[in-house]
Amino acid sequence: MNQWIGLVARLVTGGVWIVAGALKLPDPAESVRAVRAYDLLPESVVPTVGHLLPLVEIVIGLCLVLGLLTRAMGVASALLFAAFIIGIASAWARGLSIDCGCFGGGGVEEGAASKYPMEIARDVGLLLLSVWLVVRPRTRWSLDSLILPGPRPAETAEGDVDVQAQQGG
């Protein structure tokens, strides 16, 4: 059952990263504007972060969907979601009204602060899925199970014990 939960966690989280990155990729200036609007980073690094973030999101997403380096990508995903939660909470606490830029867009937007609770809740949910993948990286239908050493996910029915897998065979 845990491997099925992990598969869903991989596909949902990876899919979100792919969509988020793909929507930002065509307009790098918009991504830079979104990063700048948070007013958290030194201006000297804002353009670099704004340009690289969509690519990083897509790479994390593809690796998660494919089940490649699942634990490492789970860590990267969890760290990014934690950073985004902190960024949104910081904007909210400072009274900024900005589009989060999560799926494109970004910058100052009238009434955007009313979306902050839902954006934080969404990111907390995705953070929890990412943490699941850090704790339980072995999932069904993953490249990790083909290329990394160690036990492969056992194909057993719910509640069955795979004796051969337990004996290392």
Which sequence spans correspond to the domains of the chain?
A: 2-139
Label residue 2 by pLDDT band (50, 70, 90): confident
Mean residue pLDDT of the chain comes to 89
Label residue 145 by pLDDT band (50, 70, 90): confident
Question: What would the pLDDT profile of 67-92 be if each residue is shown by its tens digit?
Answer: 999 999 999 999 999 999 999 999 99
Please list, in sequence order, all residues whose beta carbon lies within 8 angstroms of the beta carbon of residue 136, skipping any fewer than 6 positions away: 2, 3, 5, 6
Question: What would the pLDDT profile of 93-105 be if each residue is shown by its tens digit?
Answer: 999 999 999 999 8
- Residue 146 is which amino acid? L
By the 8 A CB rule, do 58 and 21 touch?
yes
Q: Is the pLDDT score of 169 beyond 60? A: no
Q: Is the pLDDT score of 33 beyond 90? A: yes
Sign of CA dihedral 153, 154, 155, 158: negative
- Specify the 3-state DSSP secondary structure of 108: strand
Question: What would the pLDDT profile of 34-54 be if each residue is shown by its tens digit?
Answer: 999 999 999 999 999 999 999
For the ranges 12-16, 38-42, 146-150, 158-162, which has the lowest average pLDDT?
Answer: 158-162
